[in-house]
Each structure stands twice: as structure tokens, then as C-alpha cells.
Amino acid sequence: MNFLLNILFFSAAVFIVANIMPTIRIKNYGTAVVVALVYSVISFLVGWLLTILAFPFIVITFGLFTFVVNAILLWLTDKFLDDFEIDGFGSTLIAAFLISLINSGLRWLLL
């Protein structure tokens, strides 16, 4: 049940950010759910490795470098899906920050 809530919150955050930022294009809410699923799989398979490799930077920046790790995971998700497009790494970094912020806000508000 917790996994489904994570997917729903993350897909809602992706959908909201895609509607706010003109540099992110997403087909519909169903695509946002697919983005959330693909992102979760990529995070499970590669995210831990990126976090370990970036650990010194994460410590030095007091955790802020995790947004760069999340942006890399989001960029990989963009490369796997045709209906989800992000223009440039700067937009990906901003989107990762906003998605994390909105996802946390939704969790705080609804749970």
C-alpha cells in the first residue's frame, strides 16, 4: 500500500511540475504514473550506486547534492520514455527540486 501511495504522490508531483514548467512536456496523467514507475525502478537499480559515489559531495553540501542525484535519475527516466521530455540539465535540476518539494508537501498534507 505504501508503494502505491509513493507512486501516486510522485506522479502527481511530476504532473504538477510538468504543467508549471514549459521546458517539461508530458502527454497526460497516465504518463506521469509511468514516469513515477520508471523513476522508481531506476532509483532502485542505480540510485544507491549514485548516492554512494556522491556521498562525499552530499556530506560537504549538507545533503543538497541529493538534488543532483535525483536530477540524474530524472534525466535517465527522460531518456527511457518517449512521452516525457525535459529540455536541458538545468531544467532537469530545477524539476528534480520542485518534484521533491511538491512530493514532500503532498505527503505532509495528506498523510
Q: Give the ranges where 43-86 is alpha helix by DSSP (H).
A: 48-53, 55-60, 66-80
Contact assessment for residue 25 and residue 110, using Cβ atoms and an 8 Å cutoff: no
Domain ranges of the chain: 2-110
Contact assessment for residue 80 and residue 38, using Cβ atoms and an 8 Å cutoff: yes
Amino acid at 61: T
Report pLDDT digits (tens) over 61-96: 999 999 999 999 999 999 999 889 999 899 999 999
- Cα of 76 vs its chain's centroid, Å: 10
Q: What does the pLDDT read at residue 38?
A: 94
CA dihedral 14, 2, 69, 83 (to 10 degrees): -30
Instruction: Inform me whether the pLDDT recorded for 8 exceeds 80.
Output: yes
* 1's grid cell: 500500500
Instruction: Inform me whether the pLDDT recorded for 111 exceeds 90.
Output: no
Helix, strand, coil % in the chain, rounded to nearest 5: 80, 5, 15
